A and B are shown apart, each in its own frame.
Chain A
Amino acid sequence: MRTRLITALAAGLPLAASAQSQLNLTQGVTEVSNRVYDLHMTIFYICCVIGAIVFGAMFYSMWRHRKSKGYKPASFHENVKVEIAWTVIPFLILVGMAIPATSTLLAMEDTSEADVTVLVTGSQWKWHYKYLDRDVEYFSLLATPRQQIENRLDKGENYLLEVDRPLVIPTDTKVRFLITSDDVIHSWWVPDFAVKKDANPGFINEAWTKVDEPGIYRGQCAELCGKDHGFMPVVVIAKEPAEYQAWLDEQERMQREAKAEEQRLLAMSMSMDELMELGERVYLGNCAACHQPNGQGIPGVFPSLVGTEMMLNDINGHIDIVVNGKNGTAMQSFKNMLSLREIAAVVTYERNAWGNNTGDMVQAADVNAYVNE
């Protein structure tokens, strides 16, 4: 009976060991991740051998030394030599494990200078990337539609592992990540790089990678960070350096133009319908996770937006909290995440949806007063 278990276990092992399966650690696409993978397999095989010896002895004994076979018990109960041996030998095995482990760990401390530095900031529940020395920064949000999560649509291939704007890095280049957080602790993890580093609020952490092959690499937040911890993936695209430069220049240009465009549009007013339509879209994408699609929030956790004092009577407070956030709560600042038009629209939407019906209209110029003055 018992042997059945061991056969099952033994059958599972080679399965686990087959490279690049969905049952084993990824080898990844960096030198470090390959070393990590090799170390993982080495330690795993050592454990298997020790396991085979110990369990082998145990099963042999259970088979041979049983009362039903009339086996009479021996009377030994100590043996100093044996006891010293099985203290010393495991210790030596451990030393053998510690040597490659130490060298891999030290290899992770590559001391050469990085060519690209990206500031990675976690917040509930999205990542923000900022290229230092370049004028490019953006948020990266889960792109999987709510309908898929709620099982109203079939799930896509990259369900929960897709974002609207992935991080882009060059290949064959040392990229340094500075990792921090705006609220609680998050952890930025890309298995293919063997990089997992906690994002601690108020502190910056450092990690780096050097990707060999262009491709799309997916990971997730690895530290419980509240309600939507399971819904903040990391997606990184590695491009050839030239392609990366072109992309970065393009982004910089686009972000500059978007700002200019925004200023130009300040003078233009949107109609109520336009505001409500844009506002609903922004609301569902950015606010509904906490305040819920019906605006009711979750009692005791996320406040309701329906019929409250702020919604009905305090338009300035309303714009202020959306622009600047509220310290010490999950309500974050949206001034860098949404455009002026979007903020104006979502505030208008919130003041008129779900029976709030204040009739208030907020225009980009009104919001501009809070953001830029």
Chain B
Amino acid sequence: MSTVVGEMDHHDHHHAPTGISRWLFTTNHKDIGSLYLWFSFIMFLVGGSMAMVIRAELFQPGLQLVDPHFFNQMTTVHGLIMVFGAVMPAFTGLANWMIPMMIGAPDMALPRMNNWSFWILPFAFAILLASLFMEGGGPAFGWTFYAPLSTTYSGDSTALFVFSVHIMGISSIMGAINVIVTIMNMRAPGMTYMKMPLFVWTWFITAFLLIAVMPVLAGAVTMVLTDKYFGTSFFDAAGGGDPVMFQHIFWFFGHPEVYIMILPSFGIISAIIPAFSRKKLFGYASMVYATAAIAGLSFLVWAHHMFTTGMPVAAELFFMYCTMLISVPTGVKVFNWVATMWRGSMTFEVPMLFALAFVILFTIGGFSGLMLAITPIDFQYHDTYFVVAHFHYVLVSGAIFSIMAAAYYWLPKWTGHMYDTTLARWHFWTSLISVNVLFFPMHFAGLAGMPRRIPDYAVQFADINQIVSIGGFAFGLSQLIFLWVVIKCVRTGEKAPAKPWEGAEGLEWTVPSPAPYHTFETPPKVD
């Protein structure tokens, strides 16, 4: 339980150089991990406040607070920030902190590049956010920026949008290279590939996905840029181009991107569930293979986002079958987690609560995903709130819940303090309830026919939207409790032992809490 106190050496966290330059010039994986995590949390709040604007406008039918053009900017920038600013940097932060400690390495393989890959991010998002304040506003074409809405018909903020996506892409690619090199070259003696914790494995595979698809995104935004400003016509029928081709290129990136945002979650959950079930992870090898299978299949399913664009039946069938197939390895993972719990000796500390919520809510998101895969019914679901509900179940109660779980799981290791259990439980229960009030009714709104990305809606959707908005505000406020817990945990709290969780396994628990600034300068021996 979280009340266990161990006797450990408790020197203060800050025994490295202090001041702003410590953070600007740091090449320490723990510092950079913290920077990434704080940055992603700030972006989570920024993107979340945009969601609050959206939910406030949708609280009632009619236009009350914002005009439709600004509403579109909010949905667009909310999506971009949450995907590229909150979820992805949070995972990179966790990778930075944990991968070296999990494989017994003293640091990431390329520490100076690590510093760069973080420090260009704030500029990318400053540019994106600044575009909201220029004349004509920021990008308003959805985070999927379909041409020609994003080319011929967009405002001049498009140039800033493209530039900022380029920087985010470069940052992600550098981060991915670093992870790959670290995992390939920095493992402690005896740490074979098949002994690596699953978080390391899932990140290893994620990094390859990033390397493969971020450049394609860069290509797509470049084509948007040249179409808009330099007279090319990749996506303009007048010059022999095709707007549907944009969607093919975008989703060739976009679908693997979805797995980039969920595979590391699988790794986190695969660490937490065994720890609190006091039982080894069931089917380690099949977990690894399932992850690889999901990653591989993710390149064959992109057009399931585009069933309504008018494809030949043969193509629709192909993409439907491939998409359905993904649920096999995903199912294997869920079954393995349940089998891990089966006949374990479970306790329900906050990381475990989040992990259990993840398993259930992510699976619900998986079910709606399976429904969406079925082409003939996707014609009805496509671009409605059913889709919005689906991907928020997967990304909020999936990816973000797993990040919360990871934060609670490793906070004692990072800060040397136990978090405030009562507050953390409050955070969990308010989040769990509000996230379902927020997203579950969206399924109904979508089925009843409410399209996504609309600032105003027909009166029959009024009740559902009101409930959803209330859930949204509650979920937003609940995250302030998390901020409070983390700040409190950094500053004070019960001293945490090296291994605060009875059933936890892994090298990270062999070093003291808080983890010293430098760990594993002499490599551990792994049997």
Direct contact of A and B (CB under 8 A): yes
Residues of chain A touching chain B, judged by Cβ–Cβ distance below 8 Å, are 1-2, 5, 8-9, 12, 16, 22-26, 35-36, 39-40, 43-44, 47, 50-51, 54-55, 57-58, 61-62, 65-68, 71-79, 82-83, 86-87, 90-91, 94, 97-98, 101-102, 104-106, 108-109, 124, 148-151, 155, 157-161, 183-185, 187, 189, 191, 194-198, 200-203, 205-206, 219-231, 298-301, 328-330
Given A97-B324, A201-B148, A221 and B451 contact (CB-CB distance below 8 Å): yes
Interface segment, B22-30, B83-91, B373-381, B485-493?
B373-381
Given A187-B383, A200-B244, A299-B135, A23 and B444 contact (CB-CB distance below 8 Å): yes
- By a CB distance below 8 angstroms, the chain A residues around B316 are 105
Question: Which label, helix, strand, loop or mixed, suits the secondary structure of the A interface?
Answer: mixed
Q: Is the Cβ of B68 less than 8 Å from the Cβ of A228?
A: yes
- By a CB distance below 8 angstroms, the chain B residues around A51 are 363-364, 367
For the A-B complex, the count of residue pairs with Cβ-Cβ distances under 8 Å equals: 305
Give 15 A-B contacts (CB < 8 Å), ordered by A residue: A55-B360, A58-B341, A61-B342, A72-B345, A76-B343, A77-B282, A79-B282, A83-B283, A97-B370, A101-B374, A157-B459, A183-B153, A227-B67, A228-B68, A299-B135
**Does B382 sit within 8 A of A, measured CB to CB?**
yes
**Does B347 sit within 8 A of A, measured CB to CB?**
yes
Interface string of B369-395 (1 = CB under 8 A from A): 011001111011011100000000000
Q: Is the Cβ of A22 less than 8 Å from the Cβ of B460?
A: yes
* Interface residue from B244, B282, B341 paired with A203 (Cβ < 8 Å): B244
**Does B413 sit within 8 A of A, measured CB to CB?**
no
Closest Cβ of chain A: how far from B492's Cβ, in Å?
A: 28
Q: Is the Cβ of B335 less than 8 Å from the Cβ of A101?
A: no
Q: State the 4 A-B residue pairs at the shortest beta-carbon distance, nearest first.
A: A300-B136, A202-B237, A230-B454, A300-B135
- By a CB distance below 8 angstroms, the chain A residues around B376 are 35-36, 39, 101, 104-105, 108, 194
* Interface residue from B332, B341, B367, B449 paired with A26 (Cβ < 8 Å): B449
**Does B472 sit within 8 A of A, measured CB to CB?**
no
Closest Cβ of chain A: how far from B370's Cβ, in Å?
A: 6
Q: Is the Cβ of B347 less than 8 Å from the Cβ of A299?
A: no
* Interface residue from B281, B328, B371, B447 paired with A91 (Cβ < 8 Å): B328
Could you tell me the distance between the alpha carbons of A250 and B197 in the complex, rounded to whole angstroms? 75
Given A8-B436, A73-B344, A159-B458, A78 and B153 contact (CB-CB distance below 8 Å): no
* Interface residue from B61, B136, B317, B384 paired with A105 (Cβ < 8 Å): B317
Given A150-B62, A231-B456, A189 and B451 contact (CB-CB distance below 8 Å): yes
Interface string of B108-139 (1 = CB under 8 A from A): 00000000000000000000000000111100
- By a CB distance below 8 angstroms, the chain B residues around A205 are 309-310
Residues of chain B touching chain A, judged by Cβ–Cβ distance below 8 Å, are 61-64, 67-69, 72, 134-137, 140-142, 146, 148-149, 152-153, 155-156, 236-238, 242-244, 277-286, 308-310, 313, 316-317, 320-321, 324-325, 327-328, 331-332, 334-336, 338-348, 356, 359-360, 363-364, 367, 370-371, 374-377, 379-380, 382-384, 429, 432-433, 436, 440, 443-444, 447-449, 451-460, 464
- By a CB distance below 8 angstroms, the chain B residues around A298 are 69, 136
Query: Which single residue of chain A is at the shortest CB-CB distance from B274?
Result: A77
Could you tell me the distance between the alpha carbons of A57 and B342 in the complex, rounded to whole angstroms? 8
Given A151-B64, A161-B458, A61 and B374 contact (CB-CB distance below 8 Å): no
Could you tell me the distance between the alpha carbons of A160 and B338 in the complex, rounded to whole angstroms? 47
Closest Cβ of chain A: how far from B115's Cβ, in Å?
A: 37
Query: Which single residue of chain A is at the shortest CB-CB distance from B68?
Result: A227
Q: Is the Cβ of B443 less than 8 Å from the Cβ of A16?
A: yes
Closest Cβ of chain B: how far from A131's Cβ, in Å?
A: 22
Given A75-B279, A227-B68, A196 and B377 contact (CB-CB distance below 8 Å): no
Q: Is the Cβ of A300 less than 8 Å from the Cβ of B134?
A: yes
Query: Which single residue of chain A is at the shortest CB-CB distance from B64?
Result: A151
- By a CB distance below 8 angstroms, the chain B residues around A225 are 149
Q: Is the Cβ of A73 less than 8 Å from the Cβ of B343?
A: yes
Closest Cβ of chain B: how far from A180's Cβ, in Å?
A: 10
Closest Cβ of chain B: how far from A302's Cβ, in Å?
A: 9
- By a CB distance below 8 angstroms, the chain B residues around A157 are 459
Q: Is the Cβ of B343 less than 8 Å from the Cβ of A74?
A: yes
Q: Is the Cβ of A44 less than 8 Å from the Cβ of B371?
A: yes
Other CB < 8 Å A-B pairs besides A5-B432, A43-B377, A57-B338, 18 of them?
A9-B436, A24-B447, A25-B377, A43-B370, A51-B363, A51-B364, A54-B363, A67-B347, A77-B281, A82-B339, A155-B61, A184-B148, A196-B382, A200-B243, A200-B244, A219-B449, A299-B136, A328-B152
Q: Is the Cβ of B374 less than 8 Å from the Cβ of A39?
A: yes
Q: Is the Cβ of A54 less than 8 Å from the Cβ of B344?
A: no
Closest Cβ of chain A: how far from B491's Cβ, in Å?
A: 30
- By a CB distance below 8 angstroms, the chain B residues around A159 are 61, 458-459
- By a CB distance below 8 angstroms, the chain A residues around B456 are 149, 160, 230-231
Query: Which single residue of chain A is at the shortest CB-CB distance from B316?
Result: A105
Query: Which single residue of chain A is at the shortest CB-CB distance from B339?
Result: A82
- By a CB distance below 8 angstroms, the chain B residues around A330 are 153
- By a CB distance below 8 angstroms, the chain B residues around A329 are 152-153
Q: Is the Cβ of B447 less than 8 Å from the Cβ of A71?
A: no
Q: Is the Cβ of A73 less than 8 Å from the Cβ of B383?
A: no
Could you tell me the distance between the alpha carbons of A322 and B364 in the complex, rounded to whole angstroms? 51
Closest Cβ of chain A: how far from B367's Cβ, in Å?
A: 4
* Interface residue from A35, A68, A221, A228 paired with B347 (Cβ < 8 Å): A68
Q: Is the Cβ of A61 less than 8 Å from the Cβ of B338?
A: yes
Q: Is the Cβ of A66 less than 8 Å from the Cβ of B345?
A: yes
* Interface residue from B137, B282, B308, B346 paired with A66 (Cβ < 8 Å): B346
* Interface residue from A50, A62, A68, A219 paired with B341 (Cβ < 8 Å): A62
- By a CB distance below 8 angstroms, the chain A residues around B63 are 149-151
Given A16-B444, A149-B456, A67 and B346 contact (CB-CB distance below 8 Å): yes
Closest Cβ of chain B: how far from A241's Cβ, in Å?
A: 26
Q: Is the Cβ of A16 less than 8 Å from the Cβ of B447?
A: yes
Closest Cβ of chain B: how far from A245's Cβ, in Å?
A: 30
Residue picked from B243, B340, B443, most chain A C-beta under 10 Å:
B243
Q: Is the Cβ of A196 less than 8 Å from the Cβ of B345?
A: no
Query: Which single residue of chain B is at the shortest CB-CB distance from A157?
Result: B459
Given A155-B61, A223-B383, A5 and B310 contact (CB-CB distance below 8 Å): no
* Interface residue from A36, A82, A187, A191 paired with B449 (Cβ < 8 Å): A191
Given A65-B344, A109-B313, A224-B149, A101 and B458 contact (CB-CB distance below 8 Å): no
Closest Cβ of chain B: how far from A294's Cβ, in Å?
A: 14
